[in-house]
Amino acid sequence: MNNHQVAIKKPLSLRIFSLAQPTGFKYHEVKEDHVFSLENKDYNHVLFLLEGKLKISCNNFVNRRMNSKEFVFIPISADVKCKTLSHSQIVLFSFDNPMVHFDKEYMNGLLEHCSHTEQTFIKLPFYEPIENFVNHLILYAEHKINKKLLQDIKEMELLTILKSFYKREEIANFFHPVVGKSPHFRMQVLRNYRKEPHVDGLAQRIGIEKRSFSFQFKEEFNMSPYQWLLNQKAKHIHFSLAESDKTLDEIRTEFGFKFAGHFTRFCKKQFNCTPIRLRRQLAYES
């Protein structure tokens, strides 16, 4: 490392790390075979893997491999679990709503692409500007320089680098979950739906009358809030079956199914198999 690439000397020994503050950047060196999750689900994250290899699961995208010099976007409210496959150096940058920094014309281009593509789990490669950007974050983190003004500046710098050195289609795929016609409304929904997973309660929590909420929701997400909430429930159940040690009864109860038969029927409709069979399939694929 050169003088600008300051590293934490001792690898973390904890199996789980979380941010001590809601936004900003953290640098970690993590030993091989360590498992960690992101406890702060109220914000968006970009995970930069400087060195090493890891396996990451995010909602319904399970056991995706990341290699050195790759980075991924982890959207607000996502379930995430990572396992290092070798000694790894990681920078986690957490922030609120990246879409507010894009002008209307650029946002329209992102929307146009997202409206014709399904969400996937995109990894972007490091280019030199990203590597320099991340090295500066490490330097600031090492010296505990993580003020709100600096966070805002670095967030804008990151988005400027992405716009300047990556294709618009790459950026649209990268930020797919948070790209929308109304970024503020979309972010309110994404931040609150896990706290209030029912249409009436979600509308009330956000502070919009139900009829107006349903109309605006359909304009933003191209489906009814009821159907969208079902889809989100399916994603989180899929993650729990794949990555948690919870029993089927614990998962069933957590997601509001009073009876095992109801849970089984939901899984058959969403995944075309029973929960126990899906868990076995996911375990085999891992």
Reply yes or no on whether the pLDDT at 18 is more than 80. Answer: no
Residue 74 belongs to domain with CATH number: 2.60.120.10
Is residue 16 one of the residues assigned to a domain? Answer: no
Is residue 136 one of the residues assigned to a domain? Answer: yes
pLDDT of residue 24: 87
Number of structural domains the chain divides into:
2
Residues 243 and 146 in one domain: no
Q: Centre a 10 Å sphere on the Cβ of residue 79 and count the other Cβ atoms it contains.
A: 21
98-137, pLDDT tens digit by residue? 888 888 899 999 999 998 888 999 999 999 999 999 999 9
Reply yes or no on whether the pLDDT at 168 is more than 50. Answer: yes
Is residue 280 one of the residues assigned to a domain? Answer: yes
pLDDT of residue 148: 86
Residues 239 and 167 in one domain: no
Residues 50 and 81 in one domain: yes
Residues 152 and 225 in one domain: no
Is residue 3 one of the residues assigned to a domain? Answer: no
Helix (H) or strand (E) run with residue 49 in it: strand 44-51
Residues 83 and 117 in one domain: yes
12 beta partners? 30
Domain boundary among 178, 200, 234: 178
Q: Which residue has the higher pLDDT, 10 or 84?
A: 84
Query: What are the distances in angstroms from CA 77 to CA 145, 195, 275?
Result: 27, 10, 23
Give the model's confidence band at 144: pLDDT under 50 very low, under 70 low, under 90 confident, else very high. confident
Contact call for residues 49 and 93 (beta carbons, < 8 A)? no
Give the model's confidence band at 7: pLDDT under 50 very low, under 70 low, under 90 confident, else very high. very low
Q: Average pLDDT, stretch 158-173?
A: 95
Is residue 14 one of the residues assigned to a domain? Answer: no
Residues 251 and 171 in one domain: no
Q: Average pLDDT, stretch 228-250?
A: 95
Cα–Cα nearest to 194, from 184, 183, 185, 205: 205
Cβ contacts of 165 within 8 Å, gap of 6 or more: 127, 129, 130
Domain boundary among 150, 178, 206: 178
Residues 195 and 110 in one domain: no
> What is the overall mean pLDDT for the chain?
89
Residues 54 and 141 in one domain: yes
**Tokens standing for residue 212:** 């107006």
19-70, pLDDT tens digit by residue? 346 788 889 999 999 999 887 899 999 999 999 999 999 999 999 999 999 9
Is residue 199 one of the residues assigned to a domain? Answer: yes
Is residue 29 one of the residues assigned to a domain? Answer: yes
Q: Centre a 10 Å sphere on the Cβ of residue 143 and count the other Cβ atoms it contains.
A: 9
Task: Say how far apart CA 284 and CA 286 lie, in whole Å.
Answer: 6
Cα–Cα nearest to 175, from 58, 45, 23, 64: 45
**Tokens standing for residue 64:** 């995706």
Residues 102 and 154 in one domain: yes
Residues 48 and 99 in one domain: yes
Is residue 247 one of the residues assigned to a domain? Answer: yes
Reply yes or no on whether the pLDDT at 8 is more than 80. Answer: no
pLDDT of residue 40: 84
Residues 147 and 267 in one domain: no
Q: Which residue has the higher pLDDT, 247 or 283?
A: 247
- Cα 196 → chain centroid: 19
Residues 155 and 48 in one domain: yes
**pTM for the predicted model, two decimal places:** 0.89
Reply yes or no on whether the pLDDT at 13 is more than 70. Answer: no
Residue 144 domain boundaries: 24-178
Reply yes or no on whether the pLDDT at 96 is more than 80. Answer: yes
Q: Centre a 10 Å sphere on the Cβ of residue 27 and count the other Cβ atoms it contains.
A: 20
Domain boundary among 124, 159, 178: 178
Residue 200 belongs to domain with CATH number: 1.10.10.60
